[in-house]
Structure 1
Amino acid sequence: MLAFLWAHEHGSFSSAARAHGLSPSAISKLVTRLENRLSVRLFQRGTRSLTLTEEGAIYLSSARSVMDAMAEADSLAEFFPAKISGTLRIHTMATFAKHQILPWLPDFLEAHPDLSVEIEVGAQYVDQFEKGLDIAIHSGVLPDSSRVARRIGESSWITCATPEYLSRRGTPEVPEDLLKHDCFHFTFSSPWNVWSYEVDGKSIVVPVKPRSTFTQGDLLRSVALSGGGIIRLADFHIGGDIKAGRLVPVLDDFRSHVVQPIYLIYANRNNLSPRIRVFVEYLERQIGLRPWKV
């Protein structure tokens, strides 16, 4: 269509070609391809000039309208980077949302009044980008996929209980002591239920038999805070409780040195929308300001 408009504007294939850095044969082939697709002749070819046919004159008006509309659409892109608006859709772990996003989310929304945020929570990563998801934030081993995963932090798992529970039942001295305590973990099958420790440089797993199981980490945290027993959760979840003394780490000398990476996942790395980019920058800044490592 552009070749057709250029040929009409310059009066010949050769003049249009010189003006736009193409060969005359290229312009001619493009116009011929357009004529074949439309099944009409758009130009009467002369030895030195081109003349529009009746069909060509009709097509010229429509082609100009199409190109004007395309130019207008392209011009709107100039405003995209500067305008942070729309709805940002996020999927993450409930505990990460509650303890590492919600505390600063009101300030973020106040800074971007035209942006809204939808947060869907789930313990495990599920690819929902085809359904409109913008980003996901999850920890652990991710399934192989074509998505882009960027490591934004890491977490370690801490075994802990309240001072009151430990005073009443005693503090475990070695990992095997856990078998004599009331312990709690997740209902669903997950590596999070593997209570692993390091003894004499070797990794061991204690086959903890939970008194109760829960689908959410916050329920585990609540039962521990009530003095119910011992739990094992990520430091990004309970770091604040430990720093405040509400929960006390146990078996720290046997804590596994294996850490779980925390990933930011999005569909592809090219042309991130402004709403995604500004959230990612804010998130990484907040993680830097609020270290949870204990």
Structure 2
Amino acid sequence: MDNYSQMLAFIWANECGSFSAAARVHNLTPSAVSKLITRLENRLRVRLFQRGSRVLTLTEEGAAYLLSAKAVVEAMNEADSVAEALPARVGGTLRIHTMTTFAKHQIVPWLPEFLDLYPALDVEIQLGAQFVDHFEQGLDIAIHSGVLPSSSRVAKRIGECEWLVCASPAYLAEKGVPAVPADLLEHRCFNFSFVSPWSKWSFVQDGEGVSVPVTPSASFTQGDLLRDLALAGAGIVKLADFHIGPDVKAGTLVPVLEAYKSGIIEPIYLLYSDRKHLSPRIRVFIEFFQEKWRQHPWKVA
């Protein structure tokens, strides 16, 4: 940056006709201007001005250097003007990684409205059940629930969810409603196929936590398939309210063992990599969707 200051001092001195005049116009001392230009001449190993008692005269080398110096300063000013406009410009590609069911039920319904607001922005959604730190590969945002691994990323809590054990009215009418957690062992249940807190069926009974070792009749990595089986009356599932909240409100899925709920509320986090210099495309996404999720519209009650 000192090289740039030297260049500016040189241009100002030429425009103003003297070191002292340049200093007055740009709120510097004459000695500061003189030192900057002397350092510039020493660095270039050439004299740029003929110093007179009253005025400065460019040397032949100084006149040649002035053209280049002005071109550099103009380029720097143009770059600054572009940079100043960046916060107002929302464009490019926004890359998001999140859970499939969250994307389908809590992002996609609002996505057309968001894209209408920012037509120059493209959204690429990558899906996966568990958080994977791909920020170094160009990821902008991750949205995941539960306990996250230790990370240097910024984690903003945007909501919470509850996991519900439920089945269709048709299944419960045919097979009966489980009265206590252990009754699940006599029912057909479906579960996730990977190791996760989501695949544990935990309850509170007689003041103590109990976990029912459900043996699933079928298991999947994808929650929507579990939901489909439950809606079809095939068995009992455990899914998040952000996923099946509308089904429960509509009565097409019915929560069971409500008296034994663990009461665990799982946080939902939005993660990004840099708190200080937030890209406009990330900022507008956070602001838009946080407003949509503020009241946790998926809540059953």
Determine if the TM-score, normalized by the shorter chain, exceeds 0.5: yes
1:1-294 equivalences under 5 Å are 1-44=7-50, 50-288=56-294, 291-294=297-300
Matching residue of 2:4: none
CA distance in 2 between partners of 1:37 and 1:135 (Å)? 46
Q: Which amino acid aligns with 2:102?
A: F
Offset of residue 29 of structure 1: 4.2
Offset of residue 226 of structure 1: 2.2
Residues 113-152 of structure 1 show CA distances to partners (whole Å, capped at 9, x for unaligned) of: 3322211111112222232222221111222222221111
CA distance in 2 between partners of 1:49 and 1:201 (Å)? 93
CA distance in 1 between partners of 2:97 and 2:44 (Å)? 48
Offset of residue 39 of structure 1: 4.3
CA distance in 1 between partners of 2:188 and 2:44 (Å)? 79
SS of residue in 2 equivalent to 1:109: helix
Show structure 1 runs of 4+ deviating over 6 A: none
Distance verdict in 2 for CA 1:182–1:279, change over 3 Å? same
Residues 180-210 of structure 1 show CA distances to partners (whole Å, capped at 9, x for unaligned) of: 2222222222221222212233322222222
Q: Which amino acid aligns with 2:184?
A: L
Distance verdict in 2 for CA 1:124–1:51, change over 3 Å? farther
Further displaced range: 143-152 or 80-89: 80-89
Further displaced range: 113-122 or 282-291: 282-291
SS of residue in 2 equivalent to 1:222: helix
Q: Which amino acid aligns with 1:144?
A: S
CA distance in 2 between partners of 1:33 and 1:212 (Å)? 77
SS of residue in 1 equivalent to 2:105: helix
Give the TM-score normalised by structure 1. Answer: 0.88
| Gap runs ≥5 in structure 1 | none
Offset of residue 156 of structure 1: 0.9
Q: Which amino acid aligns with 2:269?
A: Y
Residues 37-91 of structure 1 show CA distances to partners (whole Å, capped at 9, x for unaligned) of: 4444434556665443333322211111111122122223454344433322221
Q: CA RMSD in A?
A: 2.4
CA distance in 2 between partners of 1:160 and 1:274 (Å)? 41
| Gap runs ≥5 in structure 2 | 1-6
Distance verdict in 2 for CA 1:250–1:68, change over 3 Å? same
Residues 88-107 of structure 1 show CA distances to partners (whole Å, capped at 9, x for unaligned) of: 22211111110001112122
SS of residue in 1 equivalent to 2:294: helix
CA distance in 2 between partners of 1:188 and 1:143 (Å)? 17
Number of aligned positions between the proteins: 294
CA distance in 1 between partners of 2:146 and 2:85 (Å)? 38
